[in-house]
A and B are shown apart, each in its own frame.
Chain A
């Protein structure tokens, strides 16, 4: 790669300060263009027909009447898409999720799609498509789906990871096990053992912008796609593979993205819109309704988790076991495996074992949601640790500090940690004034920790210097949280020029090499690294041009504070050349000045956080209000603290919503009963206090600035932090999230009746 990735401690001019985002003005004036805001000449309106059944055989689809409706230009069903059966099963699953093939696997599963001249015609055409269903038995609960008597959803699924290999298909896609040591020995050493079962309900990422795209396919196979996505390069590759297009002939442009949180890493309507366009030979714009977003896209797993932990009287945790059942919707996923990797990751537990069961049910295909799978496992583990702490008589924070993972601790998934920040966050929590604030009647305080990986991945960045010395930074990672500003800051830092001389843009797929998704908290980490290297690349060109202008050897030129300086004997008196001066002459010194970098930005650090939450519980209604909340997280290095805080606050709020009220509610018919923001209750402004934040900086050794991803960890602790706070306010331990008023009141009643 030729660039040194290692962390170097230094003083920054730009990085670490606060600058306004370049996309700000467009976003506050309504000019910013999102997925639904683009138009193309002659565009059609695409709409999708969805299954009203949880599980049904599609006996027949008759589109004849709809096709005859004036204004209808194309209709597609799975028959119009390639049959990927027998090939890559993962790809086949994605395609089958986009359009059902023979069976509707969940309420809201896409069955057919239509493109018509306008909204009204498209809606009418959907009603004219006749689908004959034969209802099949369904299962939506993860525990029920694992039982012997459950209807088996896919006869091709034989549980992976169990010996001997099962001879019968089941809804259990895989068993995963992680951990080390001997838990039996560990439990034998324990003075106190706590065992509990927890349940968490399914939640949705809840981005405010519904999925939207504008697709246009030409008869020669060239195509364009404008889409709201977390990764347009990946969307390009996936759509091309699904539809048999040439990758380079499909140009994908990412719109401004109105929230993703993992939910816009997966394709749904995009291949369908492309197929409709190909058939109609006209551009097709497809925008989902909110009900479609809830019924058809994105949710996270609902879970059922058993945790058993043992500790000595001094607080040392001697053994820990988690058995975690995660449903992945109608197609198998790796969600329980991720839970196994994260459940005990904050702690140094000599004997630990995590077993995960990945299960399929008749619900939408689960998609990544901010630190996928970790919040539920943390809810179970962090609740249990509080119970243990109480039992041995140690404060919850000291209990955690006693067992905290450090550099050198073996992670539950195997390797040994490098420098990590969990202990720092816990100590900061312990010292935080929030911990000493007085609680009022019916109030309680809870603390919880959380962990999530960061990932790096493929990244490609261009940096072009204009003749006036201003800089275009061209990025391929979608900006979901303000990364354009952070990247421009990094370029300014490296080049030694003011922030406002750098303009960062996100390029389409024809303008840069491949970039992975903005997922896994990788945006600022990976594009930041590529930006540093691209800037350093440009600096070497700048130095060479300066040398040429001066007529001195290149090796005598250094770059400092945005200018070239000649060093060495004989030319020490030459006046420095600024970036502007060199850029102005670039036409005569060899042409445009640019830097470029492509990198596999591996070596992302670990993200750890500890949260403090105060709740007030109305003992007569079971309603919990968040009265104070503090997030402490290790960011490695905060490039722009405003946006780091924004990630902390946003993630915490999503976790609070999950803890209190957000859940998918399914009826006995297996249909989703609350596919809208009215009854899928995300936190509103009046539900919350200000969310305090504290950024810690334990440098990541494998990033030049020490950056760690910060996007995801903040959603991990809140479920448990809220649960622990409720327990301290009421004396009642909640084991079922969300801890909605009816559940809390029932638990209070049960305790009163028992005692």
Chain B
């Protein structure tokens, strides 16, 4: 296994695109190192992007936030601006594993690992996050919901590297929230995850976006769930409609972490709770 520490995203892309063997990108390493340990991957080349300038930084601009691909959850959790703007994204990022994992794990890595249960992905989707993808020849920006195509599968072509995650500046009176279900209080993979962002106008939901995790091969955006919220003040009837829409959108599997019935049921339960939290964060009164 060769180990490279390129000085730019473009150089990283070049290394990956030229590699004939199995090549992997290393940011936080919390997934890659586990796969190495379990013998699930045998890399010929590992490209560590953490020595690339600015890739470990969060940049704030008038348009929003650019979160470098190697920024860890711990750094995101400490960032005041991000916490104020997108608390749902921050809490989703911070739910991934222990403090030790938080010291390394990244949003871009969580996205590229393409696990159906990735916590940050539904949260990024409802926040309108985009991935800045650098290839050997060109750069492109792709909405997060378009990045993951299936379990372990992304839209990235050979040689492409996510350089940063871009979050917009939230519109006024926007709130987001992410909630997941795990059997313990920590250290588990999500059995169900629900992310909701919504915008209020005069106390009424004007716009909403709902995404579910761990209930289908990829995170699912549920327009019907969003429609259930729009125009409401989160009365019981709209919450029930939200829950029903979320449950209906589930296409989960039975596995060691949960059953089809359980995931379907709890998706609705968490959606109601997440909606209330997002509503309050947007300044709504329950």
Contact = CB atoms under 8 A, between A and B. Distances in A.
Report A-B touching, CB under 8 Å: yes
**Chain B CB within 10 Å, residue with most, of A660, A684, A740:** A684
Contact of B262 (A625, A674, A741): A741
Given A665-B256, A674-B256, A683 B266 contact: no
B266 A621 contact: yes
A123 B39 contact: yes
A679 interface: yes
B184 A684 contact: yes
Contacts of A746: 261-262
Contacts of B255: 673
B183 A684 contact: no
Contacts of A740: 183
A686 interface: yes
Contact of B269 (A620, A660, A678, A684): A620
A660 B256 contact: no
B183 A741 contact: yes
Contacts of A289: 37
Given A291-B38, A741-B262, A679 B257 contact: yes
Contact of B184 (A620, A673, A683, A742): A683
Main secondary structure of the interface of B (DSSP, over half): loop
B185 interface: yes
A681 B189 contact: no
Given A665-B256, A679-B257, A684 B185 contact: yes
B259 A742 contact: yes
B258 interface: yes
B187 A684 contact: yes
Interface string A168-187: 00000000000000000000
B183 A678 contact: no
B257 to A, nearest CB: 7
B256 A679 contact: yes
Given A291-B38, A621-B266, A742 B258 contact: yes
Interface residues of B, number: 21
Interface string B37-53: 11100000000000000
A555 interface: no
Interface in B196-242: none
A621 B183 CA distance: 10
Contacts of A681: 183-184, 187-188
Interface string A739-755: 01110011000000000
B186 A686 contact: yes
Contacts of B269: 620-621
Nearest to A126: B39
B275 to A, nearest CB: 14
A279 interface: no
Contacts of A678: 187-189
Contacts of A687: 184-186
Contacts of A679: 188-189, 256-257
Interface residues of A, number: 25
Contacts of A686: 184-186
B184 to A, nearest CB: 5
A154 interface: no
Interface string A660-697: 11000100000001100111010110110000000000
A139 to B, nearest CB: 20
B169 interface: no
Interface in B248-263: 255-259, 261-262
Contacts, number: 54
B173 interface: no
A116 B259 CA distance: 43
Contacts of B266: 620-621, 745
B191 to A, nearest CB: 8
A745 B183 contact: no
Contacts of B265: 745
A661 B184 contact: yes
B24 interface: no
Contacts of B186: 684, 686-687
Nearest to B257: A679
Interface in A678-729: 678-679, 681, 683-684, 686-687
A673 B256 CA distance: 7
Contacts of A677: 187
B262 A745 contact: yes
B181 A621 contact: yes
Nearest to A672: B256
**Chain B CB within 10 Å, residue with most, of A621, A674, A681, A683:** A621
A291 B40 CA distance: 14
Contacts of B189: 678-679
A585 interface: no
B183 A623 contact: yes
Contacts of A623: 181, 183
A183 B239 CA distance: 55
Nearest to A665: B256
A732 B189 CA distance: 27
Contacts of A742: 258-259, 261-262
B252 to A, nearest CB: 12
A730 to B, nearest CB: 16
B95 to A, nearest CB: 12
A740 B183 CA distance: 7
A687 B255 CA distance: 23
Interface string A618-630: 0011010100000
B247 to A, nearest CB: 13
B203 to A, nearest CB: 26
Contacts of B181: 621, 623, 741
Complex A-B, nearest 4 residue pairs according to Cβ-Cβ distance, in ascending order: A686-B185, A742-B262, A620-B269, A665-B256
18 contacts: A621-B181, A621-B269, A661-B184, A673-B255, A674-B256, A678-B188, A679-B189, A679-B257, A681-B184, A684-B187, A686-B186, A687-B185, A687-B186, A741-B181, A741-B183, A742-B258, A742-B262, A745-B265
Given A741-B183, A742-B262, 7 more contacts: A291-B38, A673-B255, A677-B187, A679-B257, A681-B188, A684-B187, A745-B266
